[in-house]
Amino acid sequence: MSNPLYDELFGRHDGRAAPFLYLEDGSVVSYSDFIIRAARLANLLTQLGLKPGDRVAAQIGKSPEALALYAACVRAGLVFLPLNTAYTPDEVSYFVGDSGARLLVCDAGSEARLGAVAQGVGAMLETMNDDGTGTLTRQAELMSPVFDTVPRDREDLAAFLYTSGTTGRSKGAMLTQENLLSNARTLAEHWRFTDSDVLLHALPIFHTHGLFVATNVTLVAGGAMIFLPKFDLETILKNLPRATAMMGVPTFYTRLLDEPRFTRELARHMRLFISGSAPLLSETHVAFEKRTGHRILERYGMTETNMNTSNPYDGERRAGTVGFPLPGVEIKITDPATGATLPDGKVGQIEVRGPNVFKGYWQMPEKTAAELRADGFFITGDLGKIDEDGYVHIVGRNKDLIISGGYNIYPKEIELVLDDQPGVLESAVVGVPHPDFGETVLGVLVPKPGEVPDLDAIGKAVAASLARFKHPRKLVVENELPRNTMGKVQKNVLRDRYRTLFVPA
């Protein structure tokens, strides 16, 4: 019995001298060196008493060693649980306790705060720092570079990822070897990645985008990554000429467009720019293509499924859409009340089925049953539609749906109008409590630099474009929208901020 995920992502590169990671300091980590680092860590994890199926939680910075810890867990049959580095000790305590993780790995600077967390849930605690030092790596250096890969089945768990928990307790999405492997294979083929590609990687690796998309696709293709700690404009501009592809969130591309040194000439050798994790404004699509000649490829995925759809590599990459279902993935739009499939053009909840869809939520059978149908379709919680050409459009989250006076209002429809108004950089529409209508529409506007939006004129433009029940009861201006680490607008923060606007506390 083999270990499919390890064999296809890592094992086939054993002994290969080709570069895998180009680091910020100019050093290079070869595939061969990386495999050895992972083998030493796998030996240490086994020596610490961890058994196949045990969970390893890691709240650590981005480094080659952090990536090797992921590889080591796969090789040793352990379940890898990456945690956002911004999580507080209380949040980490929940994730480690809920998952039953036997080992928590953290930065040495967090050791004092998280020691009590680990002790409280009976987990071991080791450290791993951004520079690769720490108790875990120090012990691993004494281990053998040879490790007998633990056999695993395609349906065995490979990773846990916890959802954001904005509407309740965070849920641990259980991802199998097949979930990760099938998606990596499909994306590498769909986006034409080969061993000649060099991916500019400035994403965090505690998230699907940076770990299970960017990294796994590179590993399947056998290419290399320029592995940067974070998005830093100067570092990106310096390294862009060495890359062939880039994956990023929308803010990466807006920051590049704000920089005059980002020119068509600087990007001429690039093969592909991919955006995800948050919607990309149509304005950004147009400006980027005008500046560089490249059309950004936008796709759609989520914690529980990895990637579901993608705009085409060849063919029209249509702004405002996330393209078509990936090969092997089925998408349907259903009525949230009845579950009946809706015709093209109608807005409803997005459901997805395929080998990428997770196994369920850890220790939450009721939640799993409510969101994962018996026929394998997963109710994503996203609202969308499929147009006459088959392109998938994301309208918003089901929880963001506004019901005002009995009318269903989709924020995205209003945001598209607001975003087109003079002086408006971007907008967010949310529902807030209202004494007569239950809730009403609030529009939050971010102005373009140096401009002041005319709220009266914008109100008139909305009135001319949309039915009266969709009109924002009020428009407010903020310097920026609250976002999470992956660039998604946190509408729950806005709803909370303005919840007493019409209904006093």
pLDDT tens sequence across 105-116: 999 999 999 999
Residue 52, pLDDT score:
98
Length of the chain equals: 505
Q: How far apart are CA 272 and CA 307, in angstroms?
A: 17
Strands 378-386 and 348-353: antiparallel
Check if the beta carbon of residue 20 is closer than 8 Å to that of residue 27: no
Residue 90, pLDDT score:
85
3-class secondary-structure state, position 403: strand
Give the per-residue SS3 of 4-33: HHHHHHCHHHCCCCCEEEEECCCCEEEHHH
Q: Indicate where the chain has its CATH 3.30.300.30 domain(s).
A: 401-497
Check if the beta carbon of residue 276 is closer than 8 Å to that of residue 305: no
User: Pick from 204, 167, 162: which is nearest to 491 by CA?
Assistant: 167
Q: Is CATH 2.30.30.140 the classification given to domain 401-497?
A: no
Q: How far apart are CA 164 and CA 390, in angstroms?
A: 30
Residue 325, pLDDT score:
98
pLDDT in tens, 333-369: 999 989 999 999 999 999 999 999 999 999 999 999 9
Check if the beta carbon of residue 273 is closer than 8 Å to that of residue 253: yes
Q: How far apart are CA 213 and CA 186, in angstroms?
A: 11
DSSP track, 26-79: S-EEEHHHHHHHHHHHHHHHHHTT--TT-EEEEE----HHHHHHHHHHHHHTPE
Q: Is CATH 3.10.20.90 the classification given to domain 4-14+32-152?
A: no
DSSP class of residue 446 equals E
Residue 167, pLDDT score:
47
Task: State the 10-residue block means of pLDDT for the chain, 505 residues long.
Answer: 94 97 97 98 98 98 98 98 89 93 96 92 95 96 97 97 69 97 98 98 94 97 97 96 95 92 96 90 89 96 95 94 97 94 95 97 94 95 94 87 79 90 94 83 95 94 86 95 85 91 80
Q: Indicate where the chain has its CATH 3.40.50.980 domain(s).
A: 4-14+32-152
Residue 321 dihedral angles phi and psi, to the nearest 5°? -125, 165
Residue 504, pLDDT score:
78
Residue 352, pLDDT score:
98
Residue 419, pLDDT score:
93
Strands 198-201 and 224-227: parallel
